Amino acid sequence: MSENATPVLRLKEATIKFGGLIAVNCVSFDLMKGDLFGLIGPNGAGKTTCFNLVTGLYPPTSGSIEFMGRDISGMASAKIAKLGICRTFQNIRLFKALSAVENVMVAAYLRHRTGLGSGLGLLPSAIRETKELRRQALELLDVVGLSDVAEERSGDLAYGRQRRLEIARAMATQPELLLLDEPAAGMNPNEKVDLQQTVRRIRDDFDKTVLLIEHDMRFVMGLCERIVVLDHGEEIAQGPPDAIRNDPKVIEAYLGAAV
């Protein structure tokens, strides 16, 4: 990567205050194309709030956020999504009454809706497009290992599978940057190993840039190439897993828990 390449995502002293609380305080980091980046820190450190800033849920109080060289600070969420940033949520948000494949199709549809916007769903072109959306959705379900439950009601899927479905749904919007908020939460150790492979594959085969929040240290350290650590809204360390694991500030933040 050349030194002057434009980062996919750049936080420059990003700060947000909620009343007297500084939830994110002067946080700066760059994600380059193809990075698989981890964002960690104890509960309440400001990780999800960082995602909320990047996706435009809140404007930063000060500092800035750039996506592909463009300042997106304070831009509306829908516009940011359209530019190519998609996230999953710490609390799963699926259309529980729809099947797995329908959930992915809805996300893809929202991206492609220009072609289907007439509302005349029986036009031959609309039927063709719906078939194409379905084909693409099934492909994405295959990527996340959910082919066998494509037609099942998403609300009936086991928790770990719902989390995978959220990833497929985010992928359906064809983002450049994928933000995953605790994707391995509630998964058993085998599911976590599978998920590591899936995320790696998404980066490698689909050419995505990935930023993920996760509490499971083994998961993060085994997957991410660089890690940013937040504590009480402040960035206390940044670097490759080995440096982070041995950083006294990080160890202290986790009160001596194994990292």
Ligand X SMILES: Nc1ncnc2c1ncn2[C@@H]1O[C@H](COP(=O)(O)OP(=O)(O)OP(=O)(O)O)[C@@H](O)[C@H]1O
Site for Mg ion, rule CB under 5 A? 47-48, 90
Reported as half-sphere exposure (CB side, CA atoms, 13 A), residue 16 has a value of 23
d(CA 201, CA 180): 15
Nearer to ligand X, 23 or 157 (CB): 23
Nearer to ligand X, 191 or 231 (CB): 231
List the beta bridge partners of residue 14.
27
Report yes or no: 169 and 109 within 8 Å, Cβ to Cβ.
no
Q: Is 44 in the site for ligand X (CB under 6 A)?
A: yes
Answer with the entry of Mg ion, ligand X, none that 226 interacts with (C-beta below 5 to 8 A by kind): none
Q: With binding defined as CB under 6 A, does residue 159 bind ligand X?
A: no
Among 15, 25, 49, 209, binds ligand X (CB under 6 A): 49
Q: Is 209 in the site for ligand X (CB under 6 A)?
A: no
Q: Which structure tokens are listed for 122?
A: 């029986």
What is the token pair recorded at 108? 């893809």
* 9, 45, 167, 202: residue in contact with ligand X (rule CB under 6 A): 45
CB of 46 to ligand X, least distance (A): 4
Interaction between residue 53 and ligand X (CB under 6 A):
no
Return the number of the residue (100 or 219) whose C-beta is nearest Mg ion: 219
Alpha helices in the chain (DSSP H): 47-54, 77-83, 100-112, 124-143, 159-172, 189-206, 217-223, 241-245, 248-253
38 interface partner picked from ligand X, Mg ion, none, CB below 5 to 8 A per type: none
Number of amino acids touching ligand X (CB under 6 A): 12
| Gap between the Cα atoms of 238 and 131, Å rounded | 45
Report d(CA 138, CA 168) in Å as an integer.
10
Query: For residue 76, how many other CB atoms are within 10 A of its CB?
Result: 11
Cα separation of 30 and 68, whole Å? 11
Least distance from C-beta 181 to Mg ion, angstroms? 6
Q: How many whole angstroms separate alpha carbon 125 and alpha carbon 203?
A: 33
Contact partner, 44, from Mg ion, ligand X, none, Cβ < 5-8 Å per class: ligand X
Residue matched to tokens 């995502």: 9
Interatomic CA distance for residues 224 and 180, integer angstroms: 12
Distance CA 219, CA 227 (A): 12
Residue 115 touches which of Mg ion, ligand X, none (Cβ within 5-8 Å per kind): none
64 binds, among ligand X, Mg ion, none (CB under 5 to 8 A by kind): none
**Between 89 and 109, CB nearer to Mg ion:** 89
Does position 46 bind ligand X by CB under 6 A? Answer: yes
- Give the residue with the Cβ less far from ligand X, 153 or 215: 215
Which x/- pattern, by CB under 6 A, does the window 169-188 give for ligand X?
Answer: --------------------
Residue 48 near ligand X by CB under 6 A: yes
Residues lying near ligand X in the complex (CB under 6 A) are found at: 18, 21, 23, 41, 43-49, 90
